[in-house]
Amino acid sequence: MDKTLAERAISGDRAAFAELFESVSQELYSVAFIYLRNEEDARDAVQETAYRCCRGIKKLRSAEYFRSWAVRTAINSSLDILRKRRKTVPLDDISLSDGASSPEEVAEAKELLGLIMDRLNEREKKTVLLRHLCGLSLEEIAKAEKMPLSTVKSTLYRAVEKLKKGDLS
């Protein structure tokens, strides 16, 4: 992520914000899709994330936190949409870019994403995404999510075990 661009965005440069947001749009859409599992809702979540981030970026303390902050905002936007849903909706298939990937890699990615979507609860998803997508340390996750460090560790452990074993319990 371009730190200078983020600093300009924090200082109120709208064009810089748009460029910055676009640079993380892949991650944000993917996060939204993981939670919402259909394109329309995921796009709504991205739009809501853009809205919230644009409104709140001036309060961001440091440019280096933009990416993880935007991902957390996308998670929260997705969860808000999920809570507003009154019923289960049919799900879209995961659509993957296969241009630069082998069929084996695409299949492996689909399987992994399916496990994340199907088998992790909301807290586990969030912890996994913050750790493995945003690269936050366990301490950073604990601070950001206001959870005891031990809870972060156990949540992450449980999530990884589920992904390994396909444990549905």
Partner 1 sequence: MRIKDAMGLIKVPDGIMTDIEKGIYRAVKDERRPQFKVIAAAAAALVLIGGAAFIFSDISFNKAPVTYTNDDGYVFLGIDVENKNAVVGMKNESGGLGNMTELSDYRIEDAGGTEVMTFMFQYSWLDEADGSVHVVDLPTSGTLYADGGGKTHYELETDFENIAEGIEVQFSLKSNYVGSVEDGTAIDADDGDISLSFDDGGGREALRIALSDKKPFSDIVSIRPSCFRVFDEAGKPLGAYAEGDTAGETTVDGGGWKLVSKEGNIYIDGSGGKGTLYICAFRAALGDGSEVEIHGDWLVEFGE
Supply the minimum distance, in Å, between the C-beta of residue 137 and partner 1. Answer: 15
How big is the CA angle at 79 (ends 74 and 85), to the nearest 5 degrees? 130
Q: Is the Cβ of residue 148 or residue 165 nearer to partner 1 in the bound state?
A: 165
Q: Is the Cβ of residue 144 or residue 163 nearer to partner 1 in the bound state?
A: 163
Supply the minimum distance, in Å, between the C-beta of residue 154 and partner 1. Answer: 19
The answer to whether residues 6 and 66 touch, using CB atoms and an 8 Å cutoff, is yes
Structure tokens belonging to residue 8: 């300009």
Supply the minimum distance, in Å, between the C-beta of residue 67 and partner 1. Answer: 12
Q: Is the Cβ of residue 129 or residue 142 nearer to partner 1 in the bound state?
A: 129
How big is the CA angle at 122 (ends 86 and 25), to the nearest 5 degrees? 90
CB-based contacts of 54: which residues, under 8 Å, 6+ apart? 14, 17, 21
Binding site for partner 1 (CB under 8 A): 14, 17-18, 21-22, 25-27, 29-31, 33-34, 38-41, 43-44, 46-55, 80, 84-87, 89-92, 94-98, 101, 105-106, 108-109, 112-113, 116, 128-129, 132-133
Q: Each residue of 125-156: b (16+ CB within 10 Å) or e? A: bbbbbbbeebebebebbbebbebeeeebeebb
Supply the minimum distance, in Å, between the C-beta of residue 8 and partner 1. Answer: 15
Q: Is the Cβ of residue 121 or residue 148 nearer to partner 1 in the bound state?
A: 121
